[in-house]
Amino acid sequence: MATPSMTLFHSPASPFVRKVLVLLHETGQRERVQLEEVQLTPVSPSATLNAHNPAGKIPALRLADGNVLYDSRVILEYLDQQHVGEPLIPPCGAARWRRLTQAALADAILDAAVGMRYESFLRPEDKRWPQWLAAQAEKIERSLQQFEEQAIAELSSRFDIAAITLACALGYLDFRQPELDWRQRFPQLAAWFAEVSQRPSMQASEPPR
Ligand code: BEZ
């Protein structure tokens, strides 16, 4: 086994960390990275993490030379340039912008879902804002609709940056917002997700139950 040369600051529940882990598996680089778990919430930061990423967010990746990369999009781009296989982020042309835009939409689902989690779990009950929660759920709904109607063929063609990000977003919805019951309204996405969930990279990075 190769000695890990990089350190990934992580939490096993973070879907943004999961994106990085999936890409590491898919590109045969998992053994290059050791995991350092950090305990944090937006209101209880980790001093260790803050010393590496002043924004206090995971994932952060410390490289062999001590430099630290963040956020997940930057880390994915970096790691995708460190293997010899077919890139998972198209390097140029229309495909690059299309797939990065799809990945950004899947990241927006994640931002909304993580925000909902904080609002409904961390924020004191008397301060919660139902309209804000409803607006996040609508954002997720519109985004899933777009994937269902316009992207199934592309998603099925390659497990790349867009597919990885969406798979992690759907996994997170199942983990933290099962009440959204998205499969009922998006059957093609449900079938696609059932298939990609079998990939070793997805199985190895499942959030804790
Ligand atoms: C969660 O527990 O849902 C979570 C943890 C870390 C980052 C984002 C979400």
pTM over 0.95: yes
Residue 88 included in any domain: no
Which CATH number covers residue 130?
1.20.1050.10
* 11 ligand 1 Cβ < 6 A: yes
Per-residue pLDDT of the chain (209 residues), as tens digits, is: 578 999 999 999 999 999 999 999 999 999 999 999 999 999 999 999 999 999 999 999 999 999 999 999 999 999 999 999 999 999 999 999 999 999 999 999 999 999 999 999 999 999 999 999 999 999 999 999 999 999 999 999 999 999 999 999 999 999 999 999 999 999 999 999 999 999 999 999 999 98
114, 142: one domain: yes
Domain span holding position 157: 93-200
164, 136: one domain: yes
Residue 119 · residue 132 · CB < 8 Å: yes
Q: Which residue, by CA, sits nearest to atom 4 of ligand 1?
A: 14
Q: Are 62 and 113 members of one domain?
A: no
Q: Whose CA is nearest to atom 6 of ligand 1?
A: 14
On whether both 32 and 106 belong to a single domain, the answer is: no
Tokens standing for residue 163? 């597919």
Q: Give the residue whose CA is nearest to atom 5 of ligand 1.
A: 14
Whether 1 is in a domain gets the answer no
Which residue carries 């904080």 as its tokens? 118
How many structural domains are present in the chain? 2
Q: Which helix (H) or strand (E) holds 191?
A: helix 187-196
* Ligand 1 centroid – CA 92 distance (Å): 32
